Structure 1
């Protein structure tokens, strides 16, 4: 079919957004570590409890200084009283571990034009939804799911203000990083990201102990055993305790739990061209 000059120009302008669309999208992966902060680990990052994390991500360059990122990331949160420097926490003797599966939408603010400079520091912030399911090992070494046990009286009629917690919650990722262009296709980065959450039960610990006999009657011996573990303490200089009275502090509901993902990103640019910076000259088509 013979194209007129005006038709050719129209098609060219229609195609430009598609070239731009391909050039401004990146797909890639994240490899790093995860950490937890809450009732069992006070520090925001405690390397003794760092665990591996992996993720997949998609980036879209909105302009030279703003990038939007969607990602799915897996990591592990874990902690234990046994390593605390506080004697009362060692005596409490609680521990937990959970997988975290996070989906996030994050905005990155780039300080430099990466196409011009070859690298840029950036800060980021966003929102994420994540799933978790805390577990702990009993005295026999068997893994036990903690939420069904209602260790703090969740769901019991005697404690109407304590309902079973959701295993899905929201967090608010923020942090900083740096990324550098390796070539026209590949970009390498490193970032540190913290996640304050809307749950205080990432570790299954939040408020106070409930009455032992009530917990035993409604939830069984396993719930009692996992709610209070001070009777299992074997640390030097620590005397095994007995189940505390109803209302005794078990955790603190004042602050919600945190987790973090930090590590390396590697992304691949879809399509051709150099993106936002140094644009390769395009030969204009000749229509006859």
Structure 2
């Protein structure tokens, strides 16, 4: 009994700050799209490979112009050399797809008082951790996980500086958006957000080709098949042969990016914001 009472009192004390300032908290969802930029694209964002994105978020209003947002977002990133305009990239013929699971902490900076004006543009910046796992279809149409294959010689004794890349990395979300109050409880927003990352292996492509025979001996034929896809090209291009050891495969000088853009809908917890009643609360203008 004593333990039950203690637990109840502890819960009440923990809940007091939340209940008291509940009007400063919002919960909501994100519905939008995801995009990728990296070694398999020719421009910053390739809209041909736009994929869906979904998320949940919690927002805390610090003051009228600053909010802190925590969110969990899922999206898909993908690209393929076959749709590029560069003949060199088309001949390389690499492709990939990966789920991205992101947890983020973001600061939103409002340009106007949302409760007073009813809408505001805003900018945001933050930090995120995300998980990914690049895959590609083989010639039979099966999805193959690329990291275990070590397509660029990761963990092979002949290439001691190349270690298996982590499937968890960090990104730095930034962007801009617009929020509008729909009612005392609901707020609708739209934002565009880019994510530079700390990994160059979101697409499993970064450095150079490794020796074909070495890769075959240590990792097997499937690794060789997925490391070089130029022998599978069709159409006007002539199928190629596996490149010599050290031939450029990707560009390690630039890390990969991804983007989440779309709509947010949030619900204010606790008391209403008072929006819509601001005009009635103002002092009347005295006329002579």
TM (normalized to structure 2)?
A: 0.89
1:157-188: CA deviation from partner (whole Å, max 9, x where unpaired): 00000000000000000000000000000000
Kept in 2: contact 1:23–1:275 (CA 8 A): no
Alpha-carbon separation, structure 1, partners of 2:49 and 2:67: 31
Could you tell me which runs of 5 or more consecutive residues in structure 1 were left unpaired when the two chains were aligned.
1-14, 282-288
1:80-115: CA deviation from partner (whole Å, max 9, x where unpaired): 000111000000000000000000000000000001
Structure 1 partner of 2:165: 165
2:112 pairs with 1:107: no
Alpha-carbon separation, structure 2, partners of 1:252 and 1:277: 54
Kept in 1: contact 2:151–2:224 (CA 8 A): yes
Q: CA deviation at 1:41?
A: 1.4
Q: CA deviation at 1:272?
A: 1.1
Structure 2 partner of 1:89: 89
Structure 2 partner of 1:7: none
2:27 pairs with 1:27: yes
Compute the RMSD of aligned alpha carbons: 1.8
2:268 pairs with 1:274: no
2:191 pairs with 1:191: yes
Could you tell me which runs of 5 or more consecutive residues in structure 2 were left unpaired when the two chains were aligned.
1-14, 282-288
Kept in 2: contact 1:40–1:94 (CA 8 A): yes
Q: CA deviation at 1:61?
A: 0.2
1:55-102: CA deviation from partner (whole Å, max 9, x where unpaired): 000000000000000000000000000011100000000000000000
Task: Give the secondary structure class of the aligned counterpart of 2:21.
Answer: helix
Alpha-carbon separation, structure 2, partners of 1:116 and 1:88: 55
Kept in 1: contact 2:118–2:275 (CA 8 A): no
Structure 1 partner of 2:69: 69
Alpha-carbon separation, structure 1, partners of 2:127 and 2:275: 26
Task: Give the secondary structure class of the aligned counterpart of 2:109.
Answer: strand
The within-5 A match list for 1:92-171 is 92-171=92-171
Kept in 1: contact 2:183–2:275 (CA 8 A): no
Kept in 2: contact 1:33–1:52 (CA 8 A): yes
The within-5 A match list for 1:132-281 is 132-234=132-234, 236-274=235-273
Kept in 2: contact 1:24–1:275 (CA 8 A): no
Count of paired positions: 266
Q: CA deviation at 1:273?
A: 2.8
Alpha-carbon separation, structure 2, partners of 1:109 and 1:54: 23
Kept in 2: contact 1:116–1:278 (CA 8 A): no
Alpha-carbon separation, structure 2, partners of 1:153 and 1:43: 28
Task: Give the secondary structure class of the aligned counterpart of 2:244.
Answer: coil
Structure 2 partner of 1:284: none
